[in-house]
């Protein structure tokens, strides 16, 4: 049991119960805080290792009373290698040029963001172009002082980008956007691959992919990326994913629907 992890979580307030974004029949809670000043790099590493995500100036993690199916998922970069399927993905996109830049909201990105949301998540982040662009700024560019953007382009045309938070040893994929016209290229997967390779080349040790929900139609894809580790929310320890899931799915069920006892850090 990681005592420092539990003490920290106990100090973070919980939100009121609300409808779960992933399973509407379940009740959701998060622990979180706003940070107008970005944390230093070692503090960011600690937050990521404790299962926190960032959206704008908000750092948060799930803290539901009866479901722990949102699993924090990370890739140990020293173990990551390119599989045969990833080599095929790379060959399919060999004509794309990745490049890394400081975060900046531009008209080019705003146009692609609106196109992406209308195609992939209509109505979830806003109903008009101005609402979507406002969401984009608050989601991706507020609080991004410790972030970089990895862009992919074809003959100068922006096809997608991924925003990455960077600590001392850890990288976190905040959000990615890509052109839905090019569905045969698997651009979302290619953005993850390109950013994994960039992070490994730069000497980072961990790549946090965010929340993995086994069996969920939109969030199960993260389980493709291996080798991986999953955070044991009760202890603060990271466990090899296959070992963790063998025990977790037996107890919680394939969709986490079996009731779980209240976590020790919920107050």
Q: Is 37 exposed, middle or buried (0-12, 13-18, 19+ CB in 10 A)?
A: exposed
pLDDT of 263 > 50? The answer is no
Residue from 249, 211, 217, 256 nearest 230 by CA? 211
Confidence band for 261, pLDDT divided at 50, 70 and 90:
very low
Confidence band for 6, pLDDT divided at 50, 70 and 90:
confident
209-251 per-position pLDDT tens digit: 999 999 999 899 999 999 999 999 989 999 999 999 999 999 9
pLDDT of 106 > 70? The answer is yes
Query: pTM higher than 0.85 for the full model?
Result: yes
Which pLDDT score is estimated for 260?
57
pLDDT of 187 > 60? The answer is yes
Helix axis angle for 129-136 and 107-120, nearest 10°, is 110
Neighbours of 213 (CB within 10 A): 20
3-class secondary structure, 208: strand
- Tokens 């080599």 belong to residue: 87
118-134 per-position pLDDT tens digit: 998 888 888 899 999 99
Q: 3-252: which CATH number, 3.40.630.30, 3.10.20.600, 3.40.50.620, 3.40.50.970?
A: 3.40.630.30
Where are the domains positioned within the chain? Answer: 3-252
- Averaged confidence pLDDT in the chain: 93
Task: For residues 112 and 161, give the distance between their C-alpha atoms in angstroms, rounded to a whole number.
Answer: 10
3-class secondary structure, 74: strand
Which pLDDT score is estimated for 1?
57
Task: Rounding to the nearest 10 degrees, give the CA dihedral for residues 31, 35, 38, 44.
Answer: -10
44-99 per-position pLDDT tens digit: 999 999 999 999 999 999 999 889 999 999 999 999 999 999 999 999 999 999 99
Beta strands in 179-237 (DSSP E): 206-212, 229-231
Which pLDDT score is estimated for 124?
80
Which pLDDT score is estimated for 266?
43
Which pLDDT score is estimated for 267?
39
Which pLDDT score is estimated for 66?
86
142-169 per-position pLDDT tens digit: 999 999 999 999 999 999 999 999 999 9
Rg from Cα positions in the chain: 18
């Amino acid at each position: 049991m990681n005592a420092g992890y539990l003490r920290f979580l106990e100090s973070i307030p919980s939100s009121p119960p609300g409808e779960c974004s992933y399973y509407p029949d379940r009740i959701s809670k998060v622990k979180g805080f706003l940070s107008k000043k970005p944390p230093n790099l070692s503090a960011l590493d600690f937050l990521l290792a404790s299962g926190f995500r960032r959206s704008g100036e908000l750092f948060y993690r799930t803290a539901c009373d009866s479901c722990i199916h949102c699993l924090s998922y990370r890739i140990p970069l020293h173990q990551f290698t390119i599989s045969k399927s990833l080599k095929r993905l790379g060959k399919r996109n060999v004509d794309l040029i990745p490049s890394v830049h400081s975060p900046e909201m531009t008209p080019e990105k705003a146009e692609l963001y609106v196109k992406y949301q209308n195609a992939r998540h209509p109505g979830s982040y806003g109903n008009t172009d101005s609402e979507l662009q406002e969401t984009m700024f608050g989601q991706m560019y507020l609080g991004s002082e410790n972030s970089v953007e990895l862009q992919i382009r074809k003959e100068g045309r922006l096809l997608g980008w991924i925003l990455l938070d960077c600590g001392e040893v850890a990288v976190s994929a905040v959000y990615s956007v890509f052109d839905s016209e090019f569905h045969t290229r698997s651009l979302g997967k290619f953005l993850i691959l390109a950013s994994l390779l960039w992070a490994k080349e730069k000497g980072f040790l961990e790549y946090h992919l965010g929340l993995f929900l086994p069996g969920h139609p939109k969030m199960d894809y993260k389980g493709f990326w291996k080798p991986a580790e999953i955070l044991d929310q009760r202890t603060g320890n990271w466990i090899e994913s296959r070992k963790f899931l063998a025990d977790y799915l037996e107890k919680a069920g394939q969709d986490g629907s079996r009731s779980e006892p209240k976590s020790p850090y919920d107050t």
